[in-house]
Amino acid sequence: MKEKFKSAEVWFKIVLLFVFSGFYVLAIPFPQDSRQFPQLLAAISLALTVIALGMDFLRAQAVAGEIGDVDDTELKVLDAGTRRARRKRFYQAWAILLVATVAGVLGGFLFSTVLLFAGFGFAFGRRENWVRNTIVAAAMTVLVYLVFGRIMAVPLFNGVLW
Amino acid sequence: MDALAQAIAFVLQWQNLAALAGGTVYGIIIGVLPGLGPSAGMALAIPLVMTWHPATALIFMGALYKCSNYGGSLTAILVNTPGDASNAATVLDGYPMCERGRGGVALGLSATSALVGGTIGMLCLIFAAPFLADFALEFGPAEYFLTAILALSLIAAVVQGATIKGLIAAGLGLLLSTVGFDVIAGHLRYTFGWAPIEDGIPLIQALVGLFAVTQALVLAESASSISRLAKLSGSFWEGVRTYFLHPVIVARAALIGLIVGVLPAVGQSSAGLLAWADAKRASRHPETFGQGAPEGVLASETATNACMPGDLVCTIALGVPGSVGAAVFLGVMIIFGIVPGPLVFVNNAEVIYSLFVALFLTSFLVFIVGMTVARRLAVVTLLPNNVIVPLILVVSLLGSFAIRNEMADVVISLAFGALGYVMLKRGFTPIPLLLGLVLGEMVETNYHRALLISGGSYSIFYSSVICKVLILLTVLSLVGPYLGPFWRTLTQGEK
C-alpha cells in the first residue's frame, strides 16, 4: 500500500514538472516585465520538484504522510473491498456533481439543488427509503432557497433555458 | 485617550450596539456555513449597510469579520472545512477531536480562545496601534516582498518533514496568481482567452474549491456521518476548564498571534499554524498533535484571535491586508470614504477607535453565543453524509456564484476542488497553495517596485536591517525542521 502511495505521489510530481515547464514556456512571448516573475517562479518550482523527485528515488523507505493532510486514510491498510467501495463512491459523487452542475447551467438553481440532494440520497442513502430521500431533497432545497434567496437575498442562478 | 473615551460613548449608543449584535450573529452564521467565509459574508452585507453611518457600518463589518472567524472554527471542528484560511490550523486537531466524539470540548476551547485571544489582542492593539503604525512605515517594497516570502516559507516549514513539498505547493499558488492582467505592464497572461480569469483567479472561488468541495469529496467516500462515534461527548465547560489548564501555551500563542498580526501581509492563517507548530514543539507528547490534542485547538485559535486585531492594523494603517477577509474589509473602508494609511488615526480617529472598542466587546458576545448555541451546532456532525455532502456543495457553490453572478465561478471552484482532492491524495496539503494565491499579487508588485527603485539591482533585498532579519528568519524557517532532529541528536546523544 505504501509503495503504491509513493508511486502515485511521484506521478503527481511528474505532472507538476510539466505544469511548471508549461508556465515557463508559455511566458516566453510575454514582454520582459511580464515574464520575469512567472519565469523565475517556474524555474524555482521546477528545481524544487526535481529535488523532491530525486529524494523520492533515493529514499529507501516510502514517503510518510504529511501533518497537513486532512484525510490520511490512504496511508492506512485498507482491504481491497473497502478501497473499491471508496473509489466507486468517489466516482458516483463526481458524476452526481457534474450532472447537477449541467442541470444548473440549463435549468437553474432549483433543478440543480434537487438533483444534488436526491442524487446523494439515492446513491449513498438507503434505496428503500426513497420517499424519505425525496422529501429530504425537496425540504433541503426549499430551506436553502428561503435562507439564501429570501432572507440573505443572495442571487441564485437561473438556467439558460428560462 | 479623549478619542478612546468618545469612541466608547459612541459604541454604547443603541444603534451601534444593535449593529454589533447583528454583525456578531450574522458573522457566526456566515462562518458556520461551509464555504462562506468572512470575505463572502462582508461582500454580501455591503448593500445592507451602504446607507449607514460609516462608523456604524464598520462596527457591523468588523464584528462580522471577527465572528465569522469563530464561526469558521466551528466548521473547521465539525466538518473539517475551515470557513476561511485563518481556521486552517484548527482543522488539524479540532476535527480529530470531533471524530472521537469530543466535539463539545473542542467548541468550548474555540469559544474561550475567541474570548481570551481576542481580548488580549484588542487590549494590546488599542494602546499600541499608533506606535505600530509608525513602525510599519519603515517597510518598503523590498521588506513587503520578503515578509510575504517569510510567510510562505513558514507555511511550507510547518508541513514538517516535507518542506520542499510545501514550497512546491506555494510555488504553484504563486504561479496561479500570475494568471490574468499583469500588475505592472497590464499584459494578459495564461488566460487562453477565457474572460472570467482575466482579473486573476478569483480568491474566494478558489478557497471554496480547495476546502469545501475537496472536503465534500473526501466525505462522500465514507458511508457514515462525520463523527465516527455517532455521538458527541465532552461538554462546552470541560473545554473552558481545559483551556485555563494551559496558561503557558495560551500566553505563547497570544504572543505569536500579536507579533504575526502586526507583520504586514502575514495573516491569521500563518499565526494559527505557527502557534500550533510551537505548541507541538513545546509539548511532552508531540505525537498526539494532529490526532485530536486539545492543546492544538487552543493554541491555533488563541493565536488567530489575538492576530486578527493586528491584521486589521496593517490593513488600516498601511492598506496591506493580511488575509482575504482583511482585503475585503479594506474595500469596505474605501467604499465608506475612509482612506487607509497612518493618517487615518488622526483624520478618522473616532471611527477607528469605535471599531476597536466594538471588536473588544465582540469577544464577549462571541463567548456568550458560543456558550448557548455551540453545543447545538455540534449536532451537524451527526447528520448522515448523504445529507451533509450535498449541503456543503450547494451552500459553498452558491456562495461562489453569488460573488460575481457568474456560472464560470462555479466551474472554477469545482476545478480547485478537484485539484485540492488530488493534492491531498498525493501527499500535498493545499494550504501553501492558497497562501501563494493570496499573496501572489503583492509579492510580484513589490518585487518589481523594489527593482525599479534600485535600478535593477538585487542588493535592495538585503540592504536594510529589516531585510536582513527577514532573510534570516526565512532561512531559519526552512532549515529549522531539518535542524530539529539534528539538535536532538546532538544534545541527547541519540543515534
B182 CB within 8 Å of a chain A CB:
yes
Range with lowest mean pLDDT among A53-67, B68-82, B224-238, B480-494:
B480-494
Q: What is the mean pLDDT of residues B104-129?
A: 83
Highest mean pLDDT among A15-24, B120-129, B383-392: A15-24
DSSP B11-66: HTSHHHHHHHHHHHHHHHHHHHSTT--HHHHHHHHHHHHTTS-HHHHHHHHHHHHH
Distant-in-sequence, close-in-space partners of A4: CB < 8 Å, separation ≥ 6: none
pLDDT, mean over chain B: 79
Residue A27 predicted with pLDDT over 50: yes
Check residue B231 and give its pLDDT: 54
With contact defined as beta carbons under 8 Å apart, do B97 and B294 qualify? yes
Regarding whether A19 and A41 lie in a shared domain, the answer is yes
Which pLDDT band, with edges at 50, 70 and 90, does A72 fall under?
A: very low
Between residues B409 and B337, which one has the greater pLDDT?
B409
What residues of chain A lie within 8 A of the CB of B448, using their CB?
33, 36-37
Q: What is the mean pLDDT of residues B450-473?
A: 89
Instruction: Tell if the CB–CB gap between A155 and B424 is shorter than 8 Å.
Output: no
Task: Please check whether residue A158 lies inside any domain of the structure.
Answer: no
Between residues A155 and B420, which one has the greater pLDDT?
B420
Task: Please check whether residue A25 lies inside any domain of the structure.
Answer: yes
Q: What is the mean pLDDT of residues B435-457?
A: 86
Regarding whether A97 and A140 lie in a shared domain, the answer is yes
Optimal mutation site among A70, A150, A154, interface B, most CBs of chain B within 10 A? A70
Residue A106 predicted with pLDDT over 70: yes
Torsional class of B68: left (φ above 0), alpha (ψ -120 to 50), beta (otherwise) = alpha
Question: Helix B14-32 crosses helix B349-377 at what angle (to 10 degrees)?
Answer: 50
Domain boundary residue, one of A20, A55, A75: A75
Task: Locate the chain B residue with the closest alpha carbon to A98.
Answer: B414
d(CA A121, CA A36): 51
Regarding whether A88 and A39 lie in a shared domain, the answer is no
Task: Locate the chain B residue with the closest alpha carbon to A94.
Answer: B217
Q: Which helix (H) or strand (E) is B443 found in, with range?
A: helix B431-454
Regarding whether A146 and A101 lie in a shared domain, the answer is yes
Between residues A157 and B245, which one has the greater pLDDT?
B245
Regarding whether A46 and A24 lie in a shared domain, the answer is yes
d(CA B417, CA B35): 12
B167 CB within 8 Å of a chain A CB:
yes
Instruction: Tell if the CB–CB gap between A144 and B393 is shorter than 8 Å.
Output: no
Domain boundary residue, one of A43, A75, A107: A75
Check residue B230 and give its pLDDT: 45
B162 CB within 8 Å of a chain A CB:
yes
Q: What is the ipTM of this complex?
A: 0.84
DSSP B177-237: HTSEE-TTT--EES-TT-GGGTT---HHHHHIIIIIIHHHHHHHT-SSBSSTTSS--S-HH
pLDDT digits (tens, 9 = 90+) for B4-26: 788 888 888 898 999 999 898 88
Optimal mutation site among B210, B273, B398, B435, interface A, most CBs of chain A within 10 A? B398
Residue A65 predicted with pLDDT over 50: no
Check residue B160 and give its pLDDT: 47
Check residue A69 and give its pLDDT: 40
Task: Please check whether residue A160 lies inside any domain of the structure.
Answer: no
Residue B96 predicted with pLDDT over 80: yes
Domain boundary residue, one of A75, A94, A128: A75
Cell readout for B89 is: 490550523
Q: What is the mean pLDDT of residues A53-81?
A: 57
User: Which of A71, A105, A154 has its CB closest to that of B402?
Assistant: A154
Check residue A17 and give its pLDDT: 94
* Shortest CA gap B366–chain A (Å): 21
In chain A, how many domains are there?
Answer: 2
Regarding whether A42 and A98 lie in a shared domain, the answer is no
Optimal mutation site among A26, A30, A37, A161, interface B, most CBs of chain B within 10 A? A37
Helix ranges restricted to H, A59-161: 80-107, 109-124, 130-144
B349 CB within 8 Å of a chain A CB:
no
Task: Please check whether residue A58 lies inside any domain of the structure.
Answer: yes
Which pLDDT band, with edges at 50, 70 and 90, does A40 fall under?
A: very high
Instruction: Tell if the CB–CB gap between A97 and B221 is shorter than 8 Å.
Output: no
Percent of all residues in chain B with a pLDDT value above 90, rounded to a whole number: 6
Task: Locate the chain A residue with the closest alpha carbon to B394.
Answer: A113
The vertex-A149 CA angle with B54 and B201, nearest 5°, equals 70
Range with lowest mean pLDDT among B169-173, B198-202, B439-443:
B439-443
Between residues B417 and B286, which one has the greater pLDDT?
B417
Q: For residue A153, give the DSSP letter.
A: -
Task: Please check whether residue A161 lies inside any domain of the structure.
Answer: no
Residue A109 predicted with pLDDT over 50: yes
Q: Could you give the maximum distance between any two Cα atoms of chain B, in Å?
A: 68
Task: Locate the chain A residue with the closest alpha carbon to B156.
Answer: A68
Distant-in-sequence, close-in-space partners of A116: CB < 8 Å, separation ≥ 6: A96, A97, A100, B390, B393, B394
Residue B199 predicted with pLDDT over 70: yes
Check residue A45 and give its pLDDT: 94
Residue B322 predicted with pLDDT over 90: no
Check residue B159 and give its pLDDT: 54
Regarding whether A86 and A66 lie in a shared domain, the answer is no
Instruction: Tell if the CB–CB gap between B389 and A93 is shorter than 8 Å.
Output: yes
Domain residues for A107? 80-151
User: Among residues 73-92 of chain B, which lie with CB inside 8 Å of chain A?
Assistant: 80, 91-92
Check residue B333 and give its pLDDT: 81
Interchain CB contacts (distance < 8 Å): A and B = 190
Check residue B132 and give its pLDDT: 64
pLDDT digits (tens, 9 = 90+) for A114-150: 998 888 888 887 767 778 888 888 998 898 888 878 8
What residues of chain B lie within 8 A of the CB of A92, using their CB?
220
Regarding whether A70 and A32 lie in a shared domain, the answer is yes
Residue A71 predicted with pLDDT over 90: no
Which pLDDT band, with edges at 50, 70 and 90, does B440 fall under?
A: confident
Q: What is the mean pLDDT of residues B69-79?
A: 79
Torsional class of B193: left (φ above 0), alpha (ψ -120 to 50), beta (otherwise) = left
Residue B85: name the closest of B200, B210, B172, B178 by CA. B210
B196 CB within 8 Å of a chain A CB:
no
Regarding whether A11 and A69 lie in a shared domain, the answer is yes
User: Which of A37, A48, A136 has its CB closest to that of B387?
Assistant: A136
Task: Please check whether residue A162 lies inside any domain of the structure.
Answer: no
